[in-house]
Amino acid sequence: MQTLQQISLTQVKDFSKKRNEPEWLTQKRIQAFEAFQKLPLLDLPDSPIEKNYTKLEGFDFSNYSLSSSSNLTVLNAEKLKKEGLIVETFSEALKNHPDVLQKYFLTSCVKPNENKATAFHSAFVNQLLFIIVPKNKQFSEPLHFQVHSNENQNAVLYSLLVIAEENSKLDIVEECISENPETNSLCSDTSEFFIQSNAQVSLSTLQYWSKESFGFSAKRAFVEKDAKMVWHTGNFGSKVFKQFTDTELIGQGSSLENFGFFLINGQQHYELVNNNWHKASKTSANAFNKGILNDRSVSVYKGLIKVDLEAKQVFSELAGHAVLLGSQARANALPALEIDNNDVLTKHAASVSQLDEKQIFYLMSRGFSASEAERLIVDGVFEQFLERIPSHLLVDKAKEIIEKEYSRNV
């Protein structure tokens, strides 16, 4: 185990060599490390909101150790492999699908030099879940994997790479877990999806890292003709959590659903970014994010709908809403549109509000106490998202976390 302060370019090469990695991967790590050294910790646009609220106080990549131990476990891999799904680790993918890995891994989708966090991740990532959904194969059972962070001052770095071939279907369930609430770790992931024609893939993520941890998440999908990508995201953990979820609809008739929710308290800080990019005609997207904040927690939600000149007959909707339970909580919403033609229907909305007093009054008039009424409204906020998650186990876990966090708020 090494701290980042001990890692030089030579040691990056040695790290790759000890893992018996091919030259192309070694060079990718070197280029990522060089980008990491040059990039600023924060790359902020000219927004007074972000300059005031997007902070990484007390964070330094050099405070964390790099471990070669595995934190990633697939709960039902063997069963789905028997049904024809290709599920492999980093070493297995390098052995069995080297050309595919070289073509797709951290190249055109999530790029190492996008920001300092992705550069760090690309230089030192040591865990990969590699999935190929074969042509015409449709799986009814979701693939379920967990990533654990239990060591203090440890860097948990993992990547997910999914290639869904034509007319295939797969649901994926991801859990990000810290059993020890005091664990101070760095948790970083990248998720790359290549969805071919008529395929459909969903990723349902439940993130409950420890509230002493720093989290960085980069997710992007390329969606081809008549294919569909679905994101379900529930975020609860991390002291500071920065996540971007980008979807590029590159084929005619492709579509997107992106539903996210979060519940934060204390001094948690979230920055959540959703970008929906329409590059082809007759594409559609629905992206909604809703959060509840208490105490001195802060959220920044940024959303973008981008429609290219040649993308005709597009429908796209984007909304971010936040409910404040605490008088000192702050939520900021920055939706935006970039539309290059007029043959589109786009909608974007944002709101920040306290709990609706009229709703509380109505429920109290029906015999509920004020706290019971508030809880019913909070449950209603999350229910519309939970009902979309394909895994009953994940829904139960999410409800358990919501119960725990809401009780803490009360």
| pTM listed for this prediction | 0.94
Q: State the Cα–Cα distance between residues 66 and 320, nearest whole angstrom.
A: 36
Q: Return the sign of the alpha-carbon dihedral for residues 62, 68, 73, 78.
A: positive
Q: What integer best gives the mean pLDDT of the chain?
A: 90
* CA pair distance 105, 162, nearest whole angstrom: 10
pLDDT digits (tens, 9 = 90+) for 361-409: 888 898 888 888 888 888 887 887 888 888 888 888 888 888 887 776 5
CA atoms within a 13 Å half-sphere pointing along the CA-CB vector of 330:
12
**Of 77, 94, 95, the residue nearest 86 (C-alpha):** 77
Which carries the bigger pLDDT value, residue 350 or residue 82?
Answer: 82
Calculate mean pLDDT across residues 113-131. Answer: 93
pLDDT reported for residue 405 = 78
Q: Convert the pLDDT of each residue in 31-40 to its tens digit.
A: 999 999 898 8
User: What angle do helix axes 9-18 and 23-38 make, rounded to 10 degrees?
Assistant: 150
Interval 326-339: pLDDT, tens? 889 999 988 899 99
pLDDT tops 60 at residue 410: no
pLDDT band at 46, cuts 50/70/90?
Answer: very low
The number of angstroms, rounded, from the C-alpha of 392 to the middle of its chain's C-alpha atoms is 20
8-23 confidence digits (pLDDT tens): 788 788 888 888 999 9
Sign of torsion over alpha carbons 112, 118, 122, 123:
positive
Which stretch of 59-68, 85-94, 95-104, 267-276 has the lowest confidence by average pLDDT? 59-68
